[in-house]
Structure 1
Amino acid sequence: MPNPSSSAPRASAAPAQPATTAPRNEYTVDELARVTDTTVRNVRAYQDRGLLAPPEKRGRVGVYDDTHVSRLKLINHLLARGYTLANIQDLIKAVDEGHDLRSILGLETAIGGRWSRERPRKYSLIELLQMFGDKASPSALAKAVELGVLERDGLSFVSNSPSAIAAGATMAREGIPLADLLDAVSIARPHFNAIAKALVDLVVRQLDRYEADALPPPADVPELVDAIWRLRPLASVLVEGEMNRALEEASGDYLGDRVAAIMATRLGHPADGHHAHERERAAEKRGAARKSKAKK
């Protein structure tokens, strides 16, 4: 990565906020670097060069927000596409000085800002052992790091979703092997990635009314930003609803038959071939009903 110079002019103002009142995530410089996959050194260098607005000062602590996250994601994206920092600086200057380009930064935050309000949390190895017990084996921790569930930070670990870590610890205490739980995450992730892409496409499709290489007219941007902020939580609700539906069907298929067999045995009616046949027919009916719903 090029070594940014501090001789260039500073940004005249912070990126424009969304027109609507939206949840505001806040970050320390370390947290900002972590969630944007960069380094504290780069954050400070971009500030010196004028590519990134300075943080809000609260005493001796600098507080960043989602506008900084969006700006850093834009910088990272442009660097990955081969732009130099000088090119990016010219673009940012145009953004900060041009009315039409400035208005688009509201969309940048609405679309590119984080969807979660969770703050990253650091865990010591002792904390993880207390939470997961002997299930937090070296191989399980290595798998969690490989999946990005945890990130190494010296001798500690960091999670961007502490609630997921807490849920995993509870499941582990209930007897579910941690290795199996991580395998389930690994299997499910490609499907969630596909779901996320489909839903993000729905949200971002609000831009399809405009030409691909053209900015929306300034007068349209506030309404467009409002629409995207309204759609974002609805996409999460849709995912949760579909997940609950799928869990109910899966548990009905598997656990229902298992419990029925146990009840039959306890009541003195062993699950003979006839009962097994009936259960197979019931499962087939449920599968046919789901396929019929899907076609509709």
Structure 2
Amino acid sequence: MPRTPKPAPTPATPPAAQPNEYTVDELARVAESTVRNIRAYQDRDLLAPPEKRGRVGVYDDTHVSRLKLINHLLARGYTLANIQDLIKAIDEGHDLRSILGLENAIGSRWSHERPRKYSLVELAKMFGVKGTPASLTKTVSKAIELGLLERDGLSFVARSPATLNAGATMAQAGIPLADLLDAVHASRAHFNAIAKSLVDLVVRQLDHYEADALPPPADVPALVDAIWRVRPLGMVLVESEMNRALEEASGDYLGNRVAAIMSKKLERKQARSETPVPARISKKKK
């Protein structure tokens, strides 16, 4: 009889991977932090205490992840108090990506323009400035005060090159640069009020929930989607209302001004036509 083949030996189960363990100095190095920060985060309950083995505290990869999260949030402008609230929310079941998505939908930039750097000579050429260097410096300083430019060493950065180009076009059309900057300064408060009203419309989506409380985790994705859809509609509303206001302003002021000029010209023409021309006296030949 043929022999029954022996079953192949079952391979040994590989041992479970051992978690990484760190001393406080090693944790600080791996997580790109400092021992002092680690101690401070533990005091604020942002970081779980280490496992005690005798007199040595032992940390693991969960501590590394938490430290990297804290560093990430600090880099985004959160305070430690904000981070405490977020971490508490995570521990209560919120998904961090949803929370950050909500923050991004509300607080991210509404413009996708890329900043551009300009030299002082480029700015002078763009705006046709032909004064002394002192007068140009004064004008640039005013633009910096208004946030239209930011100093970067010997150069200047415009967060909105489109705005700068629009101003340059108006300046080249003969509108004094100082008047343009004064107009921006005078209108800034009105634009701030408009922006506040529109932002209130967006943020009001959160008013369906308790004050100082995050929405339930299941509601966050739909809320983020709604806010992203509302944002561009706000920009359409601003453009539409601005066009309407410009049409009314130009009709009321520029139209009346042009009509007055035309009326004055007609009056002068009519006056000339009604004025009798004195008869010429012919000289008799001797």
Output the TM-score relative to the length of structure 1: 0.62
Q: What aligned pairs does 1:88-107 form with structure 2 within 5 A after superposition?
A: 90=84, 93-94=87-88, 99-100=93-94, 102=96, 103-107=98-102
Report the Cα distance in structure 1 between the residues aligned to 2:211 and 2:85, rounded to whole angstroms.
18
CA gap of 1:100–1:92, structure 2 versus 1, over 3 A, is closer
Bigger Rg, structure 1 or 2? 2
Alignment-mate amino acid for residue 133 of structure 1: G
Report the Cα distance in structure 1 between the residues aligned to 2:142 and 2:216, rounded to whole angstroms.
47
Report the Cα distance in structure 1 between the residues aligned to 2:243 and 2:86, rounded to whole angstroms.
44
User: Of the two structures, which has the highest relative contact order with CA contacts closer than 8 Å and spacing of 6 or more?
Assistant: 1
Q: Which runs of 5+ in 2 are unaligned?
A: 1-31, 39-66, 272-286
Partner in structure 2 of residue 32 of structure 1: none
| Residue of structure 2 aligned with 1:72, choices 69, 73, 76 | 76
What is the CA-CA distance between 1:188 and the residue it aligns to? Answer: 0.3
Give SS of 2:76's match.
helix
Counting matched residue pairs gives 207
CA gap of 1:271–1:118, structure 2 versus 1, over 3 A, is farther
- The one-character-per-residue Cα deviations of 1:145-165 (angstroms, maximum 9, x if unpaired) are 111111111111111111000
Of the structure 1 ranges 120-129 and 262-271, higher mean CA displacement relative to structure 2 is found in 262-271
Partner in structure 1 of residue 222 of structure 2: 223
Q: Which runs of 5+ in 1 are unaligned?
A: 10-47, 54-67, 273-296
- Identical pairs, percent: 62
Alignment-mate amino acid for residue 117 of structure 1: H
Report the Cα distance in structure 2 between the residues aligned to 1:269 and 1:133, rounded to whole angstroms.
37
Report the Cα distance in structure 1 between the residues aligned to 2:168 and 2:207, rounded to whole angstroms.
43
Partner in structure 1 of residue 53 of structure 2: none
Are 1:124 and 2:135 counterparts? no
What is the CA-CA distance between 1:126 and the residue it aligns to? Answer: 1.4
Give SS of 2:129's match.
helix
Partner in structure 1 of residue 252 of structure 2: 253
Give SS of 2:128's match.
helix
What is the CA-CA distance between 1:174 and the residue it aligns to? Answer: 0.4
Q: What aligned pairs does 1:1-296 form with structure 2 within 5 A after superposition?
A: 5-6=33-34, 50-53=69-72, 72-73=76-77, 75=78, 78=79, 83=80, 90=84, 93-94=87-88, 99-100=93-94, 102=96, 103-134=98-129, 137-268=136-267
Alignment-mate amino acid for residue 125 of structure 2: Q
